Amino acid sequence: MIPVDCSPNQHDPANGRWGDCYRACLASILELQTAQVPHFIQDRATKPEWRDDERAWLSARGLQPIIMVLKLPLPTILECLGPMNPGVHYIVGGMGANGMPHAVVACGASIVHDPGNVGIAGPVEGGQHVLTFVGALSAPHVGIKSMPLVDVSPLDRHERIGLMFSGGKDSLALVYMLRPFWDRLTVYHADAGDLLPETVEVVAAVEAMVPSFVRLNTDSRAWRRENGLPSDIVPWSCTPFGRAFKEGGRVTLVDRFACCRASLWEPIFERARADGVTLEIIGTKASDPGGDATRMMAGMQPGQSTVTVGDIERWFPLNAWSDEEVFSYLRDVGAPIARYYEGGVSKGPECATCSAYWDEGRAAYLAKHHPEKAAAYMADLQTIGLELRAPFMFLTTELAAGGVPPPGLLPGSRALPEADGQGRGTV
Ligand code: SF4
């Protein structure tokens, strides 16, 4: 225990500000600075929600509050608990000598730290003293799948923190998980102008919840018109140089990353850096299809969830999580889960009519729920399909001439994903 005092002049209920004696007690027991512990109570002293936030914050550290409400005089409480808990620090809440609720730190049978030098004069209304112990998070009940614990210590190293929120399930889980730290971070969202209404709703819900939200509006449709259609296969004939040949294609195609980088990734990270953010929180998991690539690009070692390059730390809190754990967590906290995740689909689209990301299986989903977007999507796929006919014909001809079967029949070919009930592939 390292004694931490209350912030001076904090208690001003008339203006909606409560003193932070409880925060100081918690910081003392956890041996943290005041600023590292959220002021859970703020103006909610009589509302139980602050205890939920405290529980979530401690849970992320592998801890939990153990609370006792005792209708006994304080000397009796200390006399009973002391011999049974030698050396154990805990928080005692009661009525301060100044007539306001107050908290102090006790150890065994003694009060060992009063963060405001006020003293506990008696119980709060109802004759109660409230004791809070901090213990290790309980092991999960049998049959309930626990989530991997997340070490939140990267938050302690930074003043300017940005959470990159796409509107998908993983970054949504981060938003909920880091709720106790919302007052210290900004949620950044890049909207490329082609979100599904389902995603728009989730983004709007988060924007309304968090205190600091930055939305960057870009226009991926305009980028596509100007630079080419994103495609998962780009033949030479559809590159800008290849189109100058007489066999050149009728449209320019670009890889999916070129478009995403220009419309989503660079704008959001550039904005965060312009804002002075030094901790970037990202929802990518090691189990994601691109998890390994993300880790390699970031320079992160296997098993780690954070990496620092120059002045910037990139933190992947969900690195060890699976899709199932993310969905389970979202259900537990009551987060909105977009409809396109139904039926076991694990990845939601960034842009509804994007002509790449064929593995998302959007055709049937869009046809069912968004026919106009489906028409635009299919028209672009048709355009791409026409451009791919010639290269595939040459490839098949060459393979056949060398006595090799077509790609789909080659030994070691990757099995095609099985379609789910809605026509979407599962990979
Ligand atoms: S999802 Fe598709 S359209 Fe949207 S930015 Fe990425 S590549 Fe471009």
| pLDDT tens-digit map of 183-192 | 999 999 999 9
How much is the pTM? 0.67
Side-chain half-sphere exposure of 236, counting CA atoms within 13 A: 7
In this prediction, residue 410 carries a pLDDT of 56
Tell me if 264 CB under 6 Å of ligand 1: yes
* Ligand 1 geometric centre to CA of 88 (Å): 55
> Do residues 416 and 265 make contact, with C-beta atoms less than 8 angstroms apart?
no
| pLDDT tens-digit map of 197-232 | 999 999 999 999 999 999 999 999 999 999 999 999
| pLDDT tens-digit map of 239-256 | 999 999 999 999 999 999
* Ligand 1 geometric centre to CA of 223 (Å): 9
* Ligand 1 geometric centre to CA of 263 (Å): 7
Q: What is the mean pLDDT of residues 371-395?
A: 95
In this prediction, residue 143 carries a pLDDT of 34
Pocket test for ligand 1, best of 234, 351, 358 (most atoms within 8 A of CB): 351
In this prediction, residue 191 carries a pLDDT of 97
Provide CATH code, domain 153-351.
3.40.50.620
pLDDT exceeds cutoff 50 at 336 = yes
pLDDT band at 24 (very low <50, low <70, confident <90, very high): very high
- Neighbour-count burial of 3, counting CB atoms closer than 10 A to its CB (0-12 exposed, 13-18 middle, 19+ buried): middle
Q: Which atom of ligand 1 is nearest to the CA of 357?
A: 2
In this prediction, residue 144 carries a pLDDT of 37
In this prediction, residue 152 carries a pLDDT of 85
Q: Which atom of ligand 1 is nearest to the CA of 355?
A: 2
| pLDDT tens-digit map of 93-109 | 999 998 888 999 999 99
- Residue of the CA atom closest to atom 3 of ligand 1: 354
Side-chain half-sphere exposure of 190, counting CA atoms within 13 A: 21
- Residue of the CA atom closest to atom 5 of ligand 1: 260
pLDDT exceeds cutoff 60 at 390 = yes
Partnered with residue 69 across adjacent β-strands are: 130
pLDDT exceeds cutoff 60 at 303 = yes
pLDDT exceeds cutoff 70 at 148 = no
Domain borders along the chain are 13-136, 153-351
pLDDT exceeds cutoff 90 at 353 = yes
* Ligand 1 geometric centre to CA of 329 (Å): 28
Tell me if 263 CB under 6 Å of ligand 1: yes
Tell me if 256 CB under 6 Å of ligand 1: yes
Per the prediction, the chain carries an average pLDDT of: 88
pLDDT band at 385 (very low <50, low <70, confident <90, very high): very high
Q: Which atom of ligand 1 is nearest to the CA of 264?
A: 5
